[in-house]
Amino acid sequence: MINSVFVMSPTGEVLIEKHYRGYISRTCCDVFWGEVQQAAHPQEVKPVLVTPKYYLIHIQRYGMFFIAVLNREVTPLLVTEFLHRVVDVFRDYFNEVSEESIKENFITVYQLMDEMMDFGIPMTTEPNVLKTMIHPPTILGRVATSMGVSDKSSLNQELPEGMMSSIWWRKKGVRYTNNEIYLDIVEEIDCSIDTNGLMVTCDVSGEILVNCKLSGMPDMTLAFTNPNIIDEVNFHPCVRLSRYERDKVMSFVPPDGRFKLASYSIDTPPQSITLPLYVKPQIHFSGQSGRVNIMVGPKSNLAGRTIEDVVITVPFTKNIATTNLTVNHGVAHFDDATKCLRWEIGKVPKEKSPSLSGGVTLVPGSETPESGPTILVDFKIVMFSSSGLKIDSLTLTGEKYKPYKGVRFVTKAGRFQVRS
């Protein structure tokens, strides 16, 4: 299985190295960093690199590189899933994943990596279970560590009771004054729109995020009105797979606290997916200059909902010399180093359509671009489902109380591209 795990900063510094099956030199990280420097962009580095002695499998999140080193062939998706779990646990413990947060919590990081894998085999990756064994860092613990004093209070000396049961993800004896459970169904749209405004490709993927504050040992059942559109589901271990395959309902005993119940993709034709906004770009070049005109607005199918956190990114070619652009809403900034325009709109107003217009000039003697750049769009809209997925019911059995239940849909832009 996995021999070693390395965590590298955006500058190539090795922050963490954890060896599970013998020591492996850091020189393997030099091979990986050489690939990063040769690539035009770090995201273009292949997820699996083959060297004469090892396989290097990595993911990139929060600007950092998480690398697993193996000396034999293993299913790559198993390794990448484990690395994603490591990052998710770090985020759950430290509220952020950054170079600073890892350096400030070295001891906790190594304690977590000890529990999450044993001799190269993934073990405990559930944050709620890990918190019963390794307590999240506190200010008092950081002070003790900085003074060279071992903070033994961060470790539980006894194995959690739930680890010995078939429902290992939920601890026993959970009690709340107010019993509540909240579901966030977050969907991302990956879409490509051509110059005529027609949809070329469109895919929707989603996650069901749960915040559970229920007493005892509740048994939940989540049913959908249209479950047939859900495809390629990846469940949390608490979901009973046989029940879902038979009845298309999610039956589970939830862990305590926050967790991801499932991730899925939508199996529907692109034409049936609802896009919440339109982007109409007109970017033309002639000679040594060009005209830019971009209009953004909500579509009529939102039923009064507001589109938030709208950002338009236009990566121009490197031969752009100067820009003269104005907007009627939001703030636009052109980065002269990267030749990238970032237009932060925020909330889209209902009384007017945000627009950006102006001109650009090219470097004298440079070649005129044959076509306009591909525009990237970011946005978020609450209580809106682009796929049309609807929840029929969320019921509880096994306990006598009636919990408060809340469900919220959120639609965000994934890789949303508009050609100009």
Claim: this prediction has a pTM higher than 0.85: no
Residue 295 CA to residue 275 CA, distance in Å, equals 16
Helices (H), 194-254: 241-247
Q: Which amino acid is present at 55?
A: Y
Residue 370 CA to residue 286 CA, distance in Å, equals 9
Q: Is pLDDT of 367 > 90?
A: no
pLDDT digits (tens, 9 = 90+) for 22-38: 888 888 899 999 999 98
| SS3 of the chain: helix, strand, coil, percent, to 5 | 20, 45, 35
Q: Which amino acid is present at 218?
A: P
Q: Confidence class of residue 244 from pLDDT cuts 50, 70 and 90?
A: very high
pLDDT digits (tens, 9 = 90+) for 316-345: 888 888 889 999 999 999 988 888 999 999
Residue 301 CA to residue 404 CA, distance in Å, equals 30
Q: Is pLDDT of 310 > 90?
A: yes
Residue 221 CA to residue 225 CA, distance in Å, equals 13
Q: Confidence class of residue 157 from pLDDT cuts 50, 70 and 90?
A: low
Which of these, 61, 79, 62, lies nearest to 70 by C-alpha position? 79
Tokens of 93: 């413990």
Residue 159 CA to residue 79 CA, distance in Å, equals 26
pLDDT digits (tens, 9 = 90+) for 71-93: 988 899 999 999 999 999 999 89
Which of these, 164, 28, 7, 12, lies nearest to 86 by C-alpha position? 7
Q: Is pLDDT of 207 > 70?
A: yes
Chain center to CA of 239:
22
Q: Which amino acid is present at 410?
A: V
The CA-atom distances, in angstroms, between 276 and each of 194, 215, 283, 299, 375 are 17, 39, 23, 6, 17
Q: Confidence class of residue 302 from pLDDT cuts 50, 70 and 90?
A: confident
